[in-house]
Amino acid sequence: MIEILDLTKEYSGNKVVDGLDLRVEDGELFGFLGPNGAGKTTTIRILTTLTKPTSGHALINGFDVMKEPIRVKSQFGIVQQHLSLNRELTVRENLELHARLHHLSRAERKERIDELLEYVDMTGDADQLIDKISGGMKRRTMIARALIHRPKLLFLDEPTVGLDAQTRRRVWDLIRRMNSDGTTVFLTTHYIEEAEALCNRVGIVYRGKLISMGSPLNMRQKLGMITVETKDNGHTKYSYFPDREAASRFINELKVSDKVVMRQSNLEDVFVELTGQKVMEE
Amino acid sequence: MMMLKRRWAKYLVTTLISPLLYLVAFGWGLGRGMSVSGTSYLEFVVPGIIALTAMTTSFNGAGTRLNTDRLYFKSFDECLMAPISLTSLLLGKAMIGVVRGLFSSTAFLIVATLIAPKFHVGPFFFISLLLTCFTFSFLGVLAALLAESHEDMATFSSLILLPMTFLGGTFFSVNQVPTALKIALYALPLTHSSICIRAAALGQPIPWESFLALAVFLLAFSLGSMAVLRKISV
């Protein structure tokens, strides 16, 4: 579905995407996890023909993004990080405009728009101006818009940024539903719990480079499923163990009176071990 | 079009304010009793105001809209990612200005024919008006693609459109000015629009040089827009 070969993007000598090699298969729910500025959005902009790479290749369903951009554009839908709806139009009008851009006939447009409004639970709000609806509803409208032309591939760039916890869960459910309906999803996020909750496979990206890849479970198993946090001169120290028994033995041997925390490892621990920094510190 | 359908009445009222003010101030206020080349000043200035209205509304209809879509709504990216050719995209963005320009200038034309019923509104009039709308729509698109902020568009309007408004043959005949200034004024596309639309309205011979000049401006602005669009897209 997606093939990225030694992809690089440079701005004034600064490599924001650095030699990226990646393959995403049909039906996957793939996550690109990394802090702000890691190169996630730039990668998506290259894959969606908005930005030219400095070098390397990217193919969507076998079509090169540089050589066959119009064919590539009909292969995917995208929900961008920022709100990109026309705020002077209604929900329905935004979908109508997008459907026309994707060459749907009048009959197809009506049927598809009604179907998608129901899919994202926006039927009752279809004739509201975008400016009058909530952030979560805008995000759902953008998801519906991205699916107008029935793409088999969907890019989601930070799909839940700025949303409250309840709305975020609703969007997650929608993403899971789309993936189970057969849509390949490539999402970028800096939220650890989002990558862990949704993705079959995660690529951790840092300063333009892909530094690790695998399923969230495999990554945690490689690191150690259990994390023990201890304080050392005011700094928190992290130690990783394959299971609770090993972690408990370690704790019993500690000669400290400070608070010790034992918990499940997560992808943030993987990221910290690889980079020395937290995902949100950047 | 969706927005125009919803707001046409409001747009109609606001779009007529400027040309009506020019008509009152210049046509009746300043120009009462004056004549230009044997024509009353009112009959002279009305076609100029039509050309000016077409310029302003076409430029703003296409340019301001595109600038807003690119930099504020950020919805232009969705157009860039749609499976359509750059030519279709460019033409679509220009047509917003053409439709608004025709709508506004036709509305003023209806008002004007009530005031100056000697107008000839024939095929060359509409062709000139259409050419004017296309020319300034593409200028608007070009400006919007080049602008990196809303302030850039405002600066463009101040430096390019405002001088054209007053020097582009709307309120006076270009033949009345010294030769050196005349040459400079002929470098303005609005001058040629005014000449063509005025000649058509007053039943004068078709000014082919100005018509051709306007077509060349259209070509330049459309090719310029395409070059910039190719540069910013894959």
Task: Count Cβ atoms below 10 Å from residue B158 Cβ, excluding itself.
Answer: 10
**CA gap A127, A84 in Å, rounded:** 18
- Which ipTM was obtained for this model? 0.81
Phi first, then psi, for residue B47 (nearest 5°) are -60, -35
Can you give the pLDDT at residue B74?
86
SS (H, E, C) A164-226: CHHHHHHHHHHHHHHHHCCCEEEEEECCHHHHHHHCCEEEEEECCEEEEEECHHHHHHHHCCE
Determine how many CB atoms are found less than 10 A away from the CB of residue A98: 26
pLDDT score of A200: 93
**How far lies B61's CA from each of B47, B131, B193, in Å?**
21, 15, 18
**Sign of the CA dihedral with A76 first, then A206, A166, and A130 last:** negative
Inter-chain residue contact B75 with A103, CB threshold 8 Å: no
- Identity of the residue in A50, A66, A88 whose CB atom sits nearest the CB atom of B81: A50
The verdict on B87 touching A (C-beta cutoff 8 Å) is: no
Give the mutation candidate from B1, B2, B80 for the A interface (greatest A CB count, under 10 A). Answer: B2
pLDDT digits (tens, 9 = 90+) for A190-207: 898 999 999 999 999 999
**pLDDT digit string (tens) for A175-188?**
999 999 999 999 99
Mean pLDDT, rounded, of chain A:
90
Is A214 a residue whose pLDDT tops 90? Answer: yes
Of A41-45, A84-88, A230-234, give the lowest mean pLDDT range.
A230-234
User: How far is A33 from A278, CA to CA, in rounded Å?
Assistant: 12
User: Quick one: which of A178, A100, A182 has its CA closest to B83?
Assistant: A100
CA A96 to chain B, closest CA, distance in angstroms equals 10
DSSP code of A129?
B
Size of chain B in residues:
234
| Cut 0.90: pTM above it | no
Q: DSSP of B41-82, one letter per residue? A: HHHHHHHHHHHHHHHHHHHIIIIIHHHHIIIII--HHHHHTS
What is the C-alpha to C-alpha distance for residues B227 and B233, in angstroms, rounded to an integer? 10
Predicted local distance difference test score (pLDDT) of residue A282: 45
Q: Which of A135, A94, A103 is nearest to B75 (CA)?
A: A94
The answer to whether the Cβ–Cβ distance between A89 and B2 falls below 8 Å is yes
Interchain contact, B85 vs A66, CB within 8 Å: no
Contacts for B38-43: CB closer than 8 Å, 24+ residues apart? B39/B202, B42/B115, B42/B116, B43/B116, B43/B118, B43/B119, B43/B201, B43/B202
pLDDT of A256: 65
Contacts of B75 in chain A (CB under 8 A): 84-86
A226: pLDDT strictly greater than 60:
yes
Instruction: Note the pLDDT of residue B22.
Output: 81
A2 within 8 A of A20, measured Cβ to Cβ? no
Give the full edge-to-edge strand order of the sheet including A209-214: A76-79, A153-157, A184-189, A29-33, A201-206, A209-214
DSSP letters for A243-263: SHHHHHHHHHT----S--EEE
Q: What are phi and psi of B168, to 5 degrees?
A: -90, 30
Q: Which among A60, A67, A70 is the top mutation candidate for probing chain B, defined by the most B β-carbons within 10 Å of its own β-carbon?
A: A70
> Between A65, A83, A101, which is nearest B234 by CB?
A65
* CB atoms B74 and A69 under 8 Å: no
Cβ-defined contact of B84 to A101 (cutoff 8 Å): yes
User: pLDDT band for position A25 (50/70/90)?
Assistant: very high
B82 to chain A nearest CA, in Å?
A: 6
Q: Could you list the beta-strand ranges (E) of B92-234.
A: none
pLDDT digits (tens, 9 = 90+) for A2-11: 999 999 999 9
Could you say which residues from 161 to 220 on chain A have a Cβ atom under 8 Å away from some Cβ of chain B?
A: none
The amino acid that residue A80 corresponds to is Q
CB contact at 8 A, A199 and A216 = yes
Residues of chain A found within 8 Å of residue B78, distances taken between Cβ atoms: 84, 98, 101, 145
Each residue's pLDDT expressed in tens, for chain B with a length of 234 residues: 666 677 777 777 888 888 888 877 887 777 777 777 778 888 888 899 999 999 999 999 999 989 998 998 888 999 999 999 999 999 999 999 999 999 999 988 888 887 766 777 889 999 999 999 999 999 999 999 999 999 999 999 999 999 999 888 888 888 888 888 889 999 999 999 999 999 999 889 999 999 999 999 999 999 999 999 998 886
Residue B100 contacts residue B4 (beta carbons within 8 Å) = yes
Residues B104 and B132 sit within 8 Å (Cβ to Cβ):
no
Question: Domain boundaries in chain B?
Answer: 2-233
What are the phi and psi torsion angles at A50 (to 5°)? -85, -20
Q: Does B69 touch chain A (CB under 8 A)?
A: yes
pLDDT at residue A257 in the model:
64
Q: Which residues on A lie below 8 Å from B80 (Cβ)?
A: 49-50
Angle at the Cα of B178 from the Cα atoms of B173 and B183, rounded to 5 degrees: 80
For the cut 70, the answer to whether the pLDDT of residue A136 exceeds it is: yes
pLDDT digits (tens, 9 = 90+) for A247-267: 999 988 887 666 789 999 999
- Rounded-to-integer distance, Cα B180 and Cα B95, Å: 36
| Shortest CA gap B66–chain A (Å) | 12
Distance of CA A223 to the CA centre of its chain: 22
Instruction: Point out the residue among B2, B74, B83 whose CB comes nearest to the CB of A102.
Output: B83
Over chain B, what is the mean pLDDT? 89
Please determine, for residue A121, whether its predicted confidence score (pLDDT) is greater than 50: yes
Asked if the Cβ–Cβ distance from A50 to B3 is below 8 Å, we say no
- pLDDT tens digits, one per residue of B38-75: 788 888 888 999 999 999 999 999 999 899 989 988 88
Question: Best interface-test mutation with A: which of B71, B75, B229 has the largest number of A CBs within 10 A?
Answer: B75
> A274, A204 in Cβ contact below 8 A?
yes
Question: How many angstroms separate the CA atoms of A192 and A202, rounded?
Answer: 10
Query: How far from A84 is each of A267, A271, B2, B171, B222, CA to CA, in Å?
Result: 30, 31, 17, 42, 26
Contacts of A99 in chain B (CB under 8 A): none
Given a contact cutoff of 8 angstroms between Cβ atoms, the answer to whether A213 and A204 are in contact is yes
Beta bridge partners of A204: A33, A212
Q: Say whether residue A69 is in contact with chain B using an 8 A CB cutoff.
A: yes
